[in-house]
Structure 1
Amino acid sequence: MQSLLRRPIGGNDFVFPAIASTGQLKFGESTSRSAFETLLEEVVEKSDVMKGRNGKFTTHCFRRGGAQYRFLWADRKWSLKAVKWWGGWSSNENVGTLMRYLLDELMAYEEGFSDIMMDDRVIDRHETFMGEDETAPLSKADLRKFEEGIFAKIQGLIGTSASAVSGSLITHASATAPPPSTMRTALPPPPPNRAASPESVASSSPPPPRAAPSRIPETKTLDDALKYWEYGSPQKGLNVPLKNWSSLFKTAEYASEAVKHGNIRFFCEEFQDRCGGNHASFEAKFPGLRGKFTMLMKAVQAERKLRGETKSRSRRKQ
């Protein structure tokens, strides 16, 4: 996500932004339930999980399966309160549904006798949940005691070894050390000071990634159009201002956004060139349309047509 936005993710960014029909992400807009289910069906179909089976995956499957996994089977199990929050169950909702999802599954495991005739069944499994088998998993308390015992032994070994080594080093040093007057320290010559040339630094560093045209966010007002044209909108994924697109990108690179780009350019030219960048003049020319993008677009197109700046399409021959 950060590589697409080309900035750190902020608190107002959506983790699951909406996806346009062109396949580009709609930064600043959250995905809908129907869009997520459509994407889920596509993933399931390509994975062949349901091959030869009837039915389909829904978000409810993940709600129930995720609750069971986090409450019963995960290495770091969640509390019932955390499972309720993530599952979307309100605090004042009846917990009957949640109990069927979680505890009934556990009860079915404990009260099942389908393996009672099997030779390798767990001994005393139905007396305690994990049974009395020696292969049962260790508890946290067991691991903590084991860890403390290991650390105590290691510290004892380190203390004994350190005292023995320090004593032998002192004895050896006093017997073999030469007089201070005979000691000489040969220092290696300093390395030559070779400053890296700008050319070598530039050649070694990889070139920055080239920006790509993104999807133009939804434009609702004149202010939106002016902002996108002059400054862009990094919060919504528009990192490059629209006024720079024609000089930085090829037309084919933003073909899917060409109509939006052209409409916003016409608005900005009308505001800056015809109205001198003055909001009062623009309001006098297009009264009440500053916040009505669709109607403003039609009014600007009509003005351009009166000035002969638009070309009418030739009708096809019948």
Structure 2
Amino acid sequence: MGRTKKTSAKVLVHPSEASPKKRRKGAQPTGNTTLPVIDKIKERAKQQHKHASSTRKNYSSYVDRGQKWLKVHASTTSCEDEETHDSDAYEDPTFRDALEEIPNQHSDKALALFLSYKCFHENNGQSTCDGIHAAFKKYWEEAAGDTYRGKWHFNEVRKCWEGNPACSAEVQDVIKSVRHKANSEGANRTHSVAMSKGFMDRILTWIHKRHPRETNTGLVRMLLEGDKLATNNLTLELRTSITRVVMYQAFSTTAWNLWTRCFELIKLKRKDLTIDPSETPSIKDLHAHFEVFLSNRKGWQRKVDKGLKEADPRSNRYKIYPQPDIPGCDCFFWMLLWLALLERVHYNSEVEPDDFVFPAISSNGIVHRGEHISHDAVQAWIDEATTGAGIPRGVGDSFTTHTYRRGGAQWRWMFAPVGERWTLARVRWWGSWAENENRDTLIRYLLDELSTYENDHSDALCPTQNEADGSLLGEHQLVKPACSQDLQLMQQFITADVADLRSDIWILTNAFVSRRNGQPSSTEPLVQRPLCAGISFPRESPTFVPQQTVPASGPSRTLNPTTNSAGTTNFGSRPLPEKGLDIPNLPVRCADGSYAPKKDSWKYIVQHWTEADPGRGLHVALRDWPAEWLRGKNKAIFGSKYHQRALIALEFLEQYQGNESVFLAAYPECTEGHTALLAAVKRAKKDRGEIIPRK
């Protein structure tokens, strides 16, 4: 027989009279708990916690400016000279109060006028229009409960206006007009360029030009050894320059690895970096790491609103490991170096938990400890680095703090080496994209870039097609079986290299036999062969060379190569020029004995590739040299120089179609000489995937 539970009426107990356990569960009792006081607490809590502080501040600014603007213009408006359909409304004394907290019958017209003034008269953009509209919509929604929410209309029963003026048809028409204006033909397109790994490497190379590796290595050694005397002897100019470089690298590599937005990183504090003092991370230890907690991550407040039990306890926490194979993106190295520089050079003490990791720094190198770096300062660094590194950008393209988020996500998802790419689920978690977030965001970050790559047919005339649309980034090219043509081409290269090797062996044998018999050798001293076994040259296919067998009886029965008048040995079928082979050195010598400027060296390279220059010893244009002229001993003499000239000349003629202005814009290194230009061309070809670096 079940027991019946006794019912009893609950008695409301004042918090001060409640048990300790109940007091711990609820709010702390206050002195005055009357209903008006609680109502004030409610309103204050709504203002404080309903929106983020930055959102509240921006909305209040829009509302204040709108109210001041209307009062000024309403007091000076006169409709005597021109008649409009709203002239009666403008003469109404209540029109000047149309943007106040309690709207009236003119509020929709006043807001439409303010939007038109800001976006059509002052020519502001879409973001200004959206900000003003959102600010006044929230402002009126919170004015009097549910009175000013929904469609703006006149209530015939109550004889009053209800709904939100920001939702009126007149305001919506103005917003649509502003949107059409922004998207109209001829409008400048702006696009945040993804900061690729290649761009990060170019910026690091530019930094090494300003501060050589020895400077960074010496600085690291001084900081780790605690050499205060050496760090104190740094000049103000050098200290300021090194501080800016190291701080920029720490910021950019962190943003590239964690895919942060600017505000998420500039407010990062030392307490959000977990570094165990008993196990200080070592750069040499690949398993060492430190942990970063992004307390300002977008969407984190939503997860907290669900309660700590609902939120992922590891969310927003990222472990950073060394990445020595990509030094331009090694957040582990640059972050630890920056913290050491901050503590031992600027603060002379440890960074406090509430100190910003990236504090504000003035132009004279003084660090302001209690103030975080501004967005404008970070943007100035990005502009300086991308311009100094000579990174090209198209019309409307720009590098912003958002470029690191785009570049890091795209690298991990589709541009990293095979076997190191991340799944879409990991990309979503690492970038803190919510599972129910609009999928257009990920499509814009990842799939659009991939689609652009796969649908790019600009290299349709290339003899070797990449077929990027056949698989993810054209990876099927790496695993497909070799065809007969590939095998024949490989056999030709191998045969040519074997013929070169046998030729060199014959020269060595002939020289050895001649010296042993006391006869002078007719061959020139053998030049040391380069490390690279074979060089592939554009435009010319390798000529098949029959194998020359060395009989067992000795070298006397081998086929002797011919020697021209210049003493150069000829192993091919095409005769050499009468005056021999030569590739002019750079910079070239002019008729008066002086040398041409370095900035014109690239022009001579292109000229010598397409035209002969007998006055400087080039009797045949370089592009017309047959492959046999670059074999045997000639390969060691001219091979490397020929290959370098071919890279620069073909980059100008084929990649940029001989357009000098575009070529100079893409390679400002031309003014520094052909050596700097060659390095820049190699980096560009590596970024385009045309050169595969050795591992």
Question: Which TM-score band (shorter chain)?
Answer: 0.3 to 0.5
Q: Normalised by the size of structure 2, how large is the TM-score?
A: 0.17
Say which structure, 1 or 2, has more relative contact order (CA 8 Å, 6+ apart).
Answer: 1
Q: Normalised by the size of structure 1, how large is the TM-score?
A: 0.33
